[in-house]
Structure 1
Amino acid sequence: MAIRIRTLIIASLVAAAAGGTFVYLGIYNIAATEQHTAPVYWLLDYAMRRSVKNFSADIEPPALSEEARVRNGFRIYSEKCQQCHGAPGVAPDALAFGLRPAPANLAATAREWSVTEIYWVVRNGVKMSGMPGWEYRLTDDEIWDVVAFVRRLPAFSPKGYAEWASAAPPRSEARLAPAPDEAVPSAGNAEAGKRAIGQYLCATCHSIPGVVGASKHVGPPLEGMANRKYIAGVLPNTQENMVRWLRDPQRIDPRSAMPALGVTEKDARNMAAYLSTLD
């Protein structure tokens, strides 16, 4: 037994060393112009499907057959999803051609996935795939509307899809606003705020304690934010002022390079709550 244990430990160490060397030498080609190897693609796809099945298992879907729900799902799909996934007779936009793995044809997805699995992916997205999570940009009802339309997608002909598109408002008029504000305690929720900070791309400009990947220095670091007297040097550091700043920094200081990111009242209060813990 002792020999077997030692053999297992040695084999594990050798495998770890080989894997570390493989990564360090940069042998695996991460270029999006090259396909994944078959084993890597299989592993990513299998892990994704098992994860989605697990996390969507307890979701209860609403009724999805109402025509108004399907029509609204079409409008959202044509505005937010068609660029990557295409549609019957409609090619994806140029950005989709450079994504690896390639975005799925959702007519096939509608045949193979349950509605709760589709809902979970639309709401939460998929890491390392280019698929965004729409939880912070669409309401829950709107996400289910998208699911209702995707479920109907295999039945659409190119002609039928074109007829629906011609009857819909132009993209510029149909553009969707961020999800509407919801009631939220004035104190906010710090844990929800930490999650929201990751979703609003704060990590692309700031170093933020506790947020993975937030190590950039385009904007000032947010360490010790709770102890600062001012926000951006212009506003007294209160929670209400932080909410104002997060929602529309350009209105407060037009010289700031920080853009308005469409942060809702709820998310801003939660984000302010998290920033208040950074002491």
Structure 2
Amino acid sequence: MTIRWKHLIILIIVLPLLGLAFAWSGMMGIRASTGHWGVTDWFLHWAMRNSVGTAALGVEAPPLDDPARLPPAAGHYETGCAICHGSPASPRPDSVLAMLPPPPDLKQVVPQWTDAELFEIVKHGVRYTGMPAWPSQARDDEVWGMVAFIRRLPEMDARTYIQLSGLRTSGMAGAVSPLPITCESCHAQNRLDGKSVIPNIAGQSEAYLLESLKAYAEGRRQSGVMQLAVSAMDPATFPELARHFASQASQQSADDAAASELVEKGRILAETGRPADKVPACLSCHEKADGNPVYPHLSGQPAPYLERQLHLFRGGTRGGTSYSHLMVEAAKYLKEGDMAALAAYFAGRKGSGP
């Protein structure tokens, strides 16, 4: 029997029409309760693994051994991920196990993926599942922090998880509070040190804190961690929250390990800038007694946090208040060593802070 071209063309036209008719009839089952056929489940996972593997080919994983990456990722995980995937402090609820496909137990599946593949999954999510993309596609540094955190999940115990995430316990056999994550879970000063990538917001100006909260809520300042955090808040509470932290006394949390040469280079840049390269003096705007209250105080902030923010400004991805464009322009001409020097100087500076 010979198959003619016209037969193939008719088949190509008819098959999609038959599929549409079958879907229109309502006879195609979509009930999650019935599960997938075995071949369907195999095909979907096979397609996902191939897709993720291919997308990860051009991704180069940075070193993930810095413990400072873990606290913000842990807090975000508890807020946005644990409800489906469970955590060392709380198992997955039965309700999510009825999803199709059910969210996996990460302790079992994380070892099956490379760091680059985990980055691809965390950043972009997975279609046809409940796995969302990272809230801010501009913050690869946060995504890598989450990769570093979930890489450690398989061996993590409940005590370590609670300590990293800032979970509150009810005091009854270590039971977790129903509203465990607060601003203090990450920003409490006793949780910060000179190596933190989380800022110390105690004693910042009320104007700066309020404008920053608004910027996160409106998507003008990119952070998957903070955008998720403020999404659960009523904007009407922002002024009260800003006043609360502005009224606190700030404690220095600097790391004194920075080389004196690096600090001196940062001091010169902060005080005089480098006019030949269009780099202005930081202190011409920041920390002036009569300066703009929306400009943040920098002294005593952790050096890794400051350096990360300068990188974001230089890359044009750091928004914020209505003055953030000035910092984007100021950071444009900074060199790699400049950012480390400025961060080291301000981290150790005991200036006219808040």
Contact 1:79 1:175 in 2 (8 A): no
State the Cα deviation string for residues 212-261 of structure 1 (Å, max 9, x = none): xxxxxxxxxxxxxxxxxxxxxxxxxxxxxxxxxxxxxxxxxxxxxxxxxx
State the Cα deviation string for residues 82-113 of structure 1 (Å, max 9, x = none): 11111235222465234211111112222101
Instruction: Give the Cα–Cα distance (whole angstroms) in 2 for the partners of residues 89 and 126 of structure 1.
Output: 25
The one-letter code matched in structure 1 to 2:127 is K
Q: How large is the RMSD of aligned CA atoms in angstroms?
A: 3.4
After superposition, residues 7-26 of structure 1 pair within 5 angstroms as 7-13=7-13, 15-26=15-26
Instruction: Give the Cα–Cα distance (whole angstroms) in 1 for the partners of residues 4 and 87 of structure 2.
Output: 56
Structure-2 change in CA distance of 1:88 and 1:4 (3 Å): farther
Instruction: Give the Cα–Cα distance (whole angstroms) in 2 for the partners of residues 145 and 180 of structure 1.
Output: 22
Larger-gyration structure (1/2): 2
After superposition, residues 150-229 of structure 1 pair within 5 angstroms as 150-158=150-158, 160-162=160-162, 164=164, 170-173=180-183, 174=185, 178=216, 181=221
State the Cα deviation string for residues 122-174 of structure 1 (Å, max 9, x = none): 11111220111014288321111110011111112345445555667931334
Instruction: Give the Cα–Cα distance (whole angstroms) in 2 for the partners of residues 175 and 34 of structure 1.
Output: 42
Instruction: Give the Cα–Cα distance (whole angstroms) in 2 for the partners of residues 167 and 29 of structure 1.
Output: 41
Structure-2 change in CA distance of 1:95 and 1:136 (3 Å): farther
Contact 1:75 1:168 in 2 (8 A): no
1:110 equivalent in structure 2: 110
**Structure 1 unaligned regions, length at least 5:** 183-263, 267-279
Structure-2 change in CA distance of 1:168 and 1:70 (3 Å): farther
Contact 2:123 2:137 in 1 (8 A): no
Structure-2 change in CA distance of 1:125 and 1:167 (3 Å): closer
Instruction: Give the Cα–Cα distance (whole angstroms) in 1 for the partners of residues 186 and 72 of structure 2.
Output: 12
Structure-2 change in CA distance of 1:134 and 1:151 (3 Å): same
Instruction: Give the Cα–Cα distance (whole angstroms) in 2 for the partners of residues 10 and 158 of structure 1.
Output: 61
1:146 equivalent in structure 2: 146
Instruction: Please report how far the alpha carbon of residue 64 of structure 1 lies from its aligned counterpart in structure 2 after TM superposition.
Output: 0.4
After superposition, residues 1-279 of structure 1 pair within 5 angstroms as 3-13=3-13, 15-88=15-88, 90-93=90-93, 96-136=96-136, 139-158=139-158, 160-162=160-162, 164=164, 170-173=180-183, 174=185, 178=216, 181=221
Structure-2 change in CA distance of 1:136 and 1:127 (3 Å): same
Contact 1:74 1:146 in 2 (8 A): yes
Structure-2 change in CA distance of 1:19 and 1:39 (3 Å): farther
Once structures 1 and 2 are overlaid, which stretch shifts more, 13-22 or 94-103? 13-22
Instruction: Give the Cα–Cα distance (whole angstroms) in 2 for the partners of residues 165 and 265 of structure 1.
Output: 26
SS at match of 1:131: coil
Contact 1:118 1:147 in 2 (8 A): yes
Structure-2 change in CA distance of 1:101 and 1:138 (3 Å): farther
Contact 2:166 2:186 in 1 (8 A): no
Instruction: Please report how far the alpha carbon of residue 4 of structure 1 lies from its aligned counterpart in structure 2 after TM superposition.
Output: 4.9
TM-score for both structures, normalised by structure 1:
0.56
Structure-2 change in CA distance of 1:65 and 1:52 (3 Å): same
Structure-2 change in CA distance of 1:172 and 1:5 (3 Å): same
Quick one: percent identity of the two aligned structures? 30
SS at match of 1:3: coil
The one-letter code matched in structure 2 to 1:181 is R
Contact 1:108 1:154 in 2 (8 A): yes
TM-score for both structures, normalised by structure 2:
0.45
The one-letter code matched in structure 2 to 1:83 is I
Instruction: Give the Cα–Cα distance (whole angstroms) in 1 for the partners of residues 167 and 78 of structure 2.
Output: 12
SS at match of 1:33: helix
**Structure 2 unaligned regions, length at least 5:** 170-179, 188-212, 223-317, 321-354
The one-letter code matched in structure 2 to 1:123 is K
Instruction: Give the Cα–Cα distance (whole angstroms) in 1 for the partners of residues 102 and 80 of structure 2.
Output: 17
